[in-house]
Amino acid sequence: MTKDFIIGVGKLPRGTRNAITDVAGVRVGHATVDHGDAHTGVTVIVPCEGNVYARKPVAAAHVLNGFGKTCGLVQLEELGCLETPIALTNTLCVGRVADALVTHALREAERDGLDLPGTINPVVGETNDGRINNIRARSVGGRDVLDAIDAAGTDFAHGAVGAGRGTVCFGLKGGIGSSSRLIEIGGATYTLGVLVQSNFGRMPDLAVCGEPIGRRIASKLAVTEEPERGSVMVVVATDAPLSSRQLGRVIRRATVGLVRCGSYMGHGSGDVFLGFTTANSMGSPVGPDGCLELRCLPEDRLDPLFRACAEATEEAVLDSLLAAEPMRGLDGTLYRSLGEFL
């Protein structure tokens, strides 16, 4: 099953790859752990070329439902920038992944002759993949994170890879999905891309392009009613010049995309959004007046970005479901691929 089925999502044009890496400078890498009862991994989003700590891309975070164990959001929200790549993994490996991001930042600083002031803010997101992966084994290590960073590129695998290896979405096999949109504002064309780690939702609630497909699948598989559980990480990248506050406004529209897919953000779901722009940097040289030069769009011109975030998030979730192959859980449950029912 290809992305052709979900081409009807939204109205805005897509980027060349229809992925977050359509935003120039953004790269994605995976390391997948898949042996014995370990089915998990790490996915890394590198936000820019060069040293992330030195550049400090302007960024924002939003927590819709806080049943999650992320790292680095407090400082990200306070200072409005990234200092490391963004890494996604499983719930119990957040600490290990954060430590590896610090190791990477220290190595980059030594390589570039950068004198770090003794503080680094690693940003890590997670979802609980314990239905398919023996999560207590904490199988993701520091080497996996560094390998994912080294492997990062503009073309990357989607589906049950990296941090999406063991996830379940709408009762089907979830994973890593991505999509992008092109927007015209004031005569300029900008790109907005989304990557999701999908691990949420109830099968009967699933909607594809507005069709309640989940009901038909649930009926066919005789699925019993269960509460929504799991989580979703949404990472938004853009080259539009925005402030951290404006980015916060944009990434909150990922909620629209999740709702269109059928989520109601249940009690046990951690719904966390991260976003950054490649157009503004808190690490830019300070001018003679002691100020940074940052550009941002007028508030009344943000609507196309709001739409782009909603559309790309919806399609990224569906992409994760279509790209993932079926897998069995630790209890023998078979988590099917959405593509089998379309």
Residues 6+ apart with CB under 8 A from 103: 142, 146
- For this structure, is 231 an active site residue? yes
Question: What gap in Å lies between CA 320 and CA 331, rounded to an integer?
Answer: 23
pLDDT of residue 8: 74
- For this structure, is 269 an active site residue? yes
Helices and strands in the chain: count of H runs, count of E runs:
8, 13
**Of these residues, 22, 144, 271, 319, which one is catalytic?**
271
**Of these residues, 179, 231, 281, 337, which one is catalytic?**
231
Two tokens, residue 305: 């970005």
pLDDT of residue 228: 80
Residue with tokens 């790490």: 42
pLDDT of residue 1: 36
Give the three-class secondary structure for 185: strand
pLDDT of residue 3: 52
Two tokens, residue 7: 């081409």
* Residue spans of the chain under pLDDT 50: 1-2
pLDDT tens for 116-152 read 888 999 999 999 999 999 999 999 999 999 999 999 9
CB-facing half-sphere around the CA of 120: CA atoms within 13 A: 24
Question: What gap in Å lies between CA 163 and CA 126, rounded to an integer?
Answer: 8
**Of these residues, 180, 198, 263, 269, which one is catalytic?**
269
Class of 12-336 per CATH? alpha beta
Q: Are 308 and 181 in contact (CB under 8 A)?
A: yes
pLDDT tens for 46-70 read 999 999 999 999 999 999 999 999 9
**In the chain, where are the structural domains located?**
12-336
Q: How buried is 112 (Cβ within 10 angstroms: 0-12 exposed, 13-18 middle, 19+ buried)?
A: exposed
What's the first-to-final CA gap in the chain, in angstroms? Answer: 8
Two tokens, residue 31: 């390391």
Question: What gap in Å lies between CA 53 and CA 83, rounded to an integer?
Answer: 4
